């Protein structure tokens, strides 16, 4: 399943005992978080969950101008939500964060932090997922080209 399918498929009911949780960090500055920021933030969130004994059944990430959102499929919703909150606190990003879970009965996202926040699903639209997938594909192609033996930055032999 590619990035967009993983994020967009959140409307599909999950297996019994499996919950979908998410965290989004948004800021007022224009632009995206960049590759390094996505790797660091995504790794921090995954580590926060796994480090608290929470098994991740699936993991997705999407980003756009001024935000990054991560979703994870987990067996236990409440411990995962607490782990997401603690992860945001550890990075001093709780004030910029939204933490939510997907209500399987109502088929909607419910934000638990901060109270009264706009719908979490606004981070997960098809257009946003498509743009993130396209950006990731372009970055992957650029990295592959840079690593080519023919590239001045590539992994070929050192030329004197």
Residues of the chain above pLDDT 90, percent: 34
| Beta-carbon count within 10 A of 34 CB | 12
Alpha carbon 117 to its chain centroid, in Å, reads 18
Three-state SS for 98? strand
**Residue 150 pLDDT level (bands cut at 50, 70, 90):** confident
List, for residues 71-104, the tens digit of each pLDDT value. Answer: 999 999 999 999 999 999 999 999 999 999 999 8
User: Per the domain annotation, does 20 fall within a domain?
Assistant: yes
User: Per the domain annotation, does 31 fall within a domain?
Assistant: yes
Domain span at residue 78 reads: 3-147
Cα 62 to Cα 134: distance, rounded to the nearest angstrom: 11
User: Per the domain annotation, does 157 fall within a domain?
Assistant: no
Per-residue pLDDT at 134 exceeds 80: yes
Per-residue pLDDT at 65 exceeds 60: yes
- Number of structural domains (the chain) is 1
User: Per the domain annotation, does 117 fall within a domain?
Assistant: yes
- The secondary structure of residue 155, as a DSSP letter, is S
Domain of 19: which CATH number? 3.30.70.260
User: Per the domain annotation, does 153 fall within a domain?
Assistant: no
Cα 22 to Cα 71: distance, rounded to the nearest angstrom: 4
CA atoms within 13 A of residue 78's CA, in its CB half-sphere: 0
User: Per the domain annotation, does 65 fall within a domain?
Assistant: yes
What pLDDT is attached to residue 8? 39
Q: pTM of the predicted model, to two decimals?
A: 0.75
User: Per the domain annotation, does 71 fall within a domain?
Assistant: yes
User: Per the domain annotation, does 159 fall within a domain?
Assistant: no
């Amino acid at each position: 399943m590619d990035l967009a399918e993983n994020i967009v498929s959140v409307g599909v009911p999950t297996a019994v005992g499996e919950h979908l949780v998410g965290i989004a960090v948004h800021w007022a500055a224009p632009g995206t978080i960049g590759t390094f920021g996505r790797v660091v933030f995504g790794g921090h969130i995954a580590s926060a969950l796994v480090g608290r004994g929470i098994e991740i059944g699936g993991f997705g990430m999407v980003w756009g101008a001024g935000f990054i959102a991560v979703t994870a499929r987990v067996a236990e919703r409440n411990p995962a939500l607490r782990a997401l909150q603690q992860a945001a606190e550890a990075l001093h990003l709780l004030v910029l964060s939204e933490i939510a879970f997907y209500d399987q009965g109502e088929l909607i996202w419910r934000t638990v932090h901060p109270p009264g926040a706009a719908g979490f699903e606004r981070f997960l639209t098809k257009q946003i997922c498509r743009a993130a997938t396209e950006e990731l594909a372009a970055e992957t192609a650029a990295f592959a080209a840079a690593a080519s033996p023919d590239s001045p930055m590539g992994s070929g032999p050192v030329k004197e």
